C-alpha cells in the first residue's frame, strides 16, 4: 500500500481559500468607422498619492546621552512650558545654527521642499 501524500501549508491554505471569481470588465464602445467596432476595457484609476510621510518616516534618529541633572532640567523646562523636550532641543539647535552662521531649520526645510 502506498503512503498518502504529505500535506504542506501552501496546499492547505489553497484548498481552504475560496477561489475568487473574475469580475467581468464593462466594455466601452468607442465611435469608429461603421465597419469596425472597437471595444475598450475600463482601466483602474491610479492609486491616490498618500499624504507626506510622518516625521518618523522622513527623519533620521539620533541618540543624545545627557547627564541626569541636564536631562532633569530639560524635562522640567518642557513641563513648565507645556511643550515637548524634542521641541526645546530643536529650538536649541536653531540657536546654535544662528550663532555659528549656518542656515536655520526653516531655511533647510525650504531647500528640501524644492
Lowest mean pLDDT among 6-10, 39-43, 63-67, 105-109: 39-43
Model pLDDT for residues 16-30, shown as the tens digit of each residue: 777 767 766 666 666
Report the half-sphere exposure of 21 (CA within 13 A, side-chain side).
2
pLDDT at residue number 65: 96
Model pLDDT for residues 46-86, shown as the tens digit of each residue: 666 566 788 888 889 999 999 999 999 999 999 999 999 99
Q: Is the pLDDT of residue 101 over 60?
A: yes
pLDDT at residue number 52: 74
Could you give phi then psi for residue 81, rounded to 5 degrees? Answer: -90, 0
Closest by CA position to 39, among listed 26, 50, 52, 53: 26
Q: How far, in Å, CA of 45 to CA of 24, rounded?
A: 17
Q: How far, in Å, CA of 106 to CA of 56, rounded?
A: 18
pTM: 0.52
Amino acid at each position: 500500500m502506498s503512503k498518502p501524500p504529505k500535506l504542506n501549508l501552501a496546499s492547505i491554505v489553497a484548498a481552504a481559500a475560496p477561489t475568487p471569481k473574475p469580475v467581468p470588465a464593462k466594455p466601452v464602445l468607442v465611435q469608429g468607422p461603421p465597419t469596425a467596432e472597437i471595444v475598450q476595457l475600463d482601466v483602474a484609476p491610479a492609486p491616490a498619492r498618500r499624504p507626506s510621510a510622518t516625521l518618523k518616516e522622513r527623519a533620521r534618529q539620533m541618540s543624545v546621552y545627557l547627564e541626569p541633572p541636564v536631562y532633569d532640567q530639560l524635562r522640567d523646562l518642557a513641563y513648565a512650558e507645556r511643550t515637548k523636550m524634542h521641541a526645546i532641543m530643536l529650538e536649541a539647535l536653531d540657536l546654535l545654527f544662528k550663532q555659528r552662521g549656518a542656515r536655520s531649520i526653516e531655511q533647510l526645510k525650504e531647500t528640501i521642499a524644492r
